[in-house]
A and B are shown apart, each in its own frame.
Chain A
């Protein structure tokens, strides 16, 4: 036995590490010194040694030379092909205190879009139901045809639905803008914030009708926001 076998532990049953990471890290440093030993004077020992199972483990060179494979690059973490979770930090989530919601939010634009979208869609559904009821019960003379009735229903839906959706959507834009501004100013999100934003948005929404309707609108919106906050706390 030469010094080579001493270096490798000498036993032919060299413990093959099952972990790919150990293989990757271990083989890179050792193999480069060992392989050119065919020109050694002690060729007999190398011939004896080559019978040992030294299958060429993947080295760093192999990793860089072949096509990009994230699973091979970082086998320790078991990433598979889900490597773009590493890039989550690009889009930081909203970490303002108390602003956690059903959907993760990435700041005020996300809040605005999702809030307005939800409100608009529910307004559309509500108004559509209203219009459906209206269109279905509108008197159309005696014995109206199906086509007339369908037209009446569709007219009702598109009329009431878009009215309700648009109104609620605009209200939601005001509310979300005010809410995000208050959040940013105060640095946290709570029920008082929501109620203040609701009061402001209700007042703006009804501002052209006069002072009294504006105050009424503000009061109604504040009550709605307060009960919504209480409901969220309760759940």
Chain B
């Protein structure tokens, strides 16, 4: 498609969508994960209570971490797209770099740079895998039927006559 996919909103609004999507993913996934973990770590008879308290304590935090990461990434992605005026894998890599860097900013420039490079490489791997999958599963473009071929059934009748 020439104009991106229509399954997502245009750029400024997609940030809200990504924020919420990442937060929901983190919170619901964290609820399941910490529910099981809390139940396993509790003594018998206290399993439900332990599971609930683990969910309450940790699932929103995990959701928040996911949400901030996803929202920041989406924001940077939109900014990079707007600045570069093109859509390619480099957008994701650059915004991954910026996200990792800004999330680790309080730990000092050295640590921020390390985190940024790590995030950029991670996103680069993701994008590379995505491109490879695209190539692997892309259907070959079907040959368009030419008008003569469509009219071919009438030709034998003419030659026979």
Contacts and interface: CB of A to CB of B under 8 A. Distances in A.
The residue among B16, B52, B56, B61 with the most chain A CB atoms within 10 A of its own CB is: B16
B1 A113 contact: no
Contacts of A104: 9
B77 interface: no
A110 B144 CA distance: 37
A105 to B, nearest CB: 10
A51 to B, nearest CB: 30
User: Chain B interface secondary structure, helix, strand, loop or mixed?
Assistant: helix
Interface residues of A, number: 36
A173 interface: yes
A47 to B, nearest CB: 29
Contact of A167 (B28, B60, B67): B60
B147 A84 contact: no
A115 B13 CA distance: 12
Interface in A107-127: 109-110, 112-121
User: Chain A interface secondary structure, helix, strand, loop or mixed?
Assistant: helix
A9 B52 CA distance: 88
B14 to A, nearest CB: 10
B146 A169 contact: no
Contacts of A169: 20, 23, 27, 60, 63-64, 67
A77 interface: no
Contacts of B56: 208
Contact of A84 (B6, B27, B59): B6
A117 B16 contact: yes
Contacts of A170: 27, 59-60, 63
Contact of B27 (A60, A91, A173, A208): A173
B46 to A, nearest CB: 14
Interface of A: 60-61, 64, 81-84, 87-88, 90-91, 103-104, 106, 109-110, 112-121, 154, 162, 165-167, 169-170, 172-173, 208
Instruction: Give the 8 A-B CB pairs with smallest separation, nearest first.
Output: A117-B20, A117-B19, A116-B20, A166-B60, A113-B20, A117-B16, A113-B21, A166-B64
Given A64-B144, A112-B24, A117-B21, 12 more contacts: A61-B147, A84-B3, A110-B17, A113-B18, A113-B21, A114-B13, A114-B17, A116-B24, A117-B71, A120-B20, A121-B19, A166-B60
